[in-house]
Amino acid sequence: MNSIDIDVGGTFTDLVLNFRDKTLIKKVPTTPYDLSVCFSRVIEEGAGALGLKIDELLPSVDMIRYSTTIAMNRLIERKGPRLALITTEGHEDVVLIGRGAQWIDGTRVAERRNLAIQKKPDPLIPRELIVGVKERVDSRGDVIRPLDEKNVREQVRYLVSKGARGFVVSLLWGFLNPVHERRVKEIIRDEYKEFHIGYMPVVLAGQVVGKLGEYERTLAAILDAYLQRSMQIELSAMWDKLRERGYKKPLLMIQSSGGIAEVFRTSASRTFNSGPVSGLMGAHHVAQSLGYQNVVMTDMGGTSFDVGLVVKDSVRSYDFRPIIDRWMVGITMIKTLSIGAGGGSIASVDRLLQNRVQVGPRSAGSMPGPACFNLGGTEPTVTDADVVLGYVNPEYYFGGKMRLDKNRAIAAVRDKIAKPLGISVEEGAAIIRKIVNGNMASAIMKEVHLRGYSPEEFILFVGGGAGPTHAEGFKGDIPKTVMFPFSPVFCAYGSSTMDIMHVYETSKKLTLMTPGDQQVTNDYAAYNSTVESLLKQAHKDLVADGLDPAKAVFVLELDMLYGGQFHVKRALSPRLSIASADDVRAICDAFNKEFSEAFSPFVVNPEGGTFIESFILKAIVATPKVHLPKLPLEKSDPSGARKGERQAYWPDAKGYCATPTFTYESLRSGNVVEGPAIIEGQYTTMVVPPSMRFSIDERGLGILEG
């Protein structure tokens, strides 16, 4: 299958092109002013490498998969439309009151410690644009107060007079019985029709998140409405350019749930964090082929450093409290951690903290970029430090397509770091590198230790353009580090391994085992009818996407808990339907096992009763995948890839030393490079310290050990 996978990051846009048994990788600088520009440019680069024009390539492509930071960027910029919220009368202040954690949701640890500056996030919808309407549906889905349609029309007209240009409708228990939410939308459409110039989008919270949690459901709907227009503009421009150039197949978006879906069936909030998630899914695919059970996946790009875990051959670890920016949402998001540490992370001296050097989270991005890019940036960044220390070759950055200005890197580090601290430029650059490496190592240790594991149990996978340059500094106690020919574009590679997947969620409280006597339920109909309803919805959507439901695999997960508990744990159900007590016990046993592994065997409490809170159905259609080749091992001598040598700074030597350099693409399976050494690839550089060695295994992967 011919496929294109694109990941748009804050600094670079990456491409993996699989075409007629060839796999190519390309990178171009991201164009934040118009993402459709870098999107087209990176495809043109891929086509050119095949000796084709883009118009010749695209008609032969079967699938384009796309992950992006559009949602994240637009939310940070606060450039969304002026929205209004319609809710049940008496509940207008729910999203403003929030929860106690709203003060710190989405903040960094350093910010949480500084209580003096803590404040709630500014709401995306101001109080004057939040109204309540006369209606009420109870927790069983029964209408106990009919919708007052005259009141709805009055409130809608009031909101428009206040400047509303879009509506979010979130009524109490609207997911359980959507009759009132749907009628409110019909009234808005009647007042402001689709063919009018003043047409305004309407988002129903019950359709965005179909399960319990009024607060999270409403916030997810607000975020969808807030991001919808900007994403629509960006994606429409891309879609139009693809169609004009002959592409006839669907454009698929990566989702934070770990699957992909057609752009017309993807809500904005579900694309958030799609880049790191695709990288983690790619790590899972590679780990399976290599036989690794536990993997730490890392991706160090230009703006951020992302961490995710594959544990016991599974990525089924979801955010306990999924947060987008500063808001808790009720959608399914695979757990990853992102911190502001990348090649473009800016270093500064904090005078208030006794001249302590800080690196990130501010980033120079792609424009103006680090000082050495010579595009107007003056702040010292991690990339500038790497250039000063001799790790990055200014003449061969980006395969020689970008020439870096070492003098500007030296000036930035000297003026902003070295002079204020009274140290040499080299020492200043070494401090920047040490701090950013320490920040990334801490992020890895936090993820591993908080899950109850030891670093020695894991293999480290390194992705991102800057990852191989810094892996030796952030690997910590992890014994084995693996780098890939596609490390610089690992997230784009990851999306090429992902299956088409739709996720359906609904809340339904069921008792599986009663407290005390642990009697098994015999109410099989409630369980089965809930699953059948989700299956019917999944079949409908798959057919609409042009997919055969018979080829789909359906996976059921359940949000479950023991009696007396408040928070749920998601478990994989071994049964899509139940017909006997043994089926029920099998589900309970699976939950007990996952609960004990996630927390402790000593807190498993079936005596308190076992309950279901929500059903989550995944409809998965497999896609063809590219597998790593197996290569014959050659001699260990790497001299055939020897490029020369240059001066590089090694902390243990406390100065510069003549260091051998190698060309990564010229290394062969079986070659071993002893440190100190620098290995230069087209889109990245591997740094091998004196105490380590770098080898190429039979899969063509780089192994850093020592």
Question: Residue 144: what pLDDT?
Answer: 96
Return d(Cα 368, Cα 376) in angstroms, integer. 5
The answer to whether 264 touches 302, Cβ cutoff 8 Å, is no
Write out the CATH class of domain 273-496: alpha beta
Question: Residue 72: what pLDDT?
Answer: 67
| 477: Cα within 13 Å, side-chain hemisphere | 10
Provide the 3-class DSSP secondary structure of residue 88. strand
A 10 A CB-CB count for 324 gives 24
Return d(Cα 98, Cα 222) in angstroms, integer. 14
Integer angstrom CA distances of residue 49 from 23, 24, 26, 61, 648: 11, 8, 9, 15, 33
226 is written with which tokens? 């807030």
Beta strands in 514-602 (DSSP E): 553-562, 569-572
CATH fold of the domain at 500-621: Dna Ligase; domain 1 (3.30.1490)
Question: Residue 228: what pLDDT?
Answer: 83
Contacts (Cβ under 8 Å, ≥6 apart) of 30: 8, 9, 10, 11, 12, 13, 38, 365, 366
Tell me whether domains 3-74+232-271 and 500-621 share a fold.
Answer: no
Q: Which residues of the chain have pLDDT under 50?
A: none
299 is written with which tokens? 């991706």
Kindly report, residue by residue over 609-657, the tens digit of the pLDDT: 999 999 999 999 998 888 888 899 999 999 999 999 999 999 888 889 9
Beta strands in 20-174 (DSSP E): 22-29, 63-67, 84-88, 130-133, 136-137, 143-145, 167-170
Which value, in Å, is the radius of gyration of the alpha carbons in the chain? 27
Question: Residue 479: what pLDDT?
Answer: 93
Domain ranges of the chain: 3-74+232-271, 78-228, 273-496, 500-621, 639-705
Integer angstrom CA distances of residue 135 from 159, 191, 216, 571: 18, 20, 21, 36
Kindly report, residue by residue over 356-410, the tens digit of the pLDDT: 899 988 888 777 889 999 999 899 999 999 999 999 999 999 888 889 999 999 9
A 10 A CB-CB count for 665 gives 12
Question: Residue 202: what pLDDT?
Answer: 93
499 phi/psi in degrees, rounded to 5: -95, 160
Contacts (Cβ under 8 Å, ≥6 apart) of 204: 169, 170, 174, 178, 181, 182, 185, 221
Provide the 3-class DSSP secondary structure of residue 107. coil
Return d(Cα 481, Cα 471) in angstroms, integer. 8
Question: Residue 458: what pLDDT?
Answer: 95
Residue corresponding to tokens 């339920």: 521
Omega before residue 394 within 30° of 0, cis: no
Return d(Cα 261, Cα 240) in angstroms, integer. 19
A 10 A CB-CB count for 281 gives 26
Question: Residue 546: what pLDDT?
Answer: 83
Closest CA to 74 of 241, 228, 303, 277: 228
In three-state form (DSSP H/G/I as H, E/B as E, the rest C), the secondary structure along 360-412 is EEEECCCCCCCHHHCCCCCCCEHHHHHHHCCCCCCCCHHHHCCCCCHHHHHHH
35 phi/psi in degrees, rounded to 5: -70, -20
Return d(Cα 439, Cα 192) in angstroms, integer. 52
The CATH code belonging to domain 3-74+232-271 is 3.30.420.40
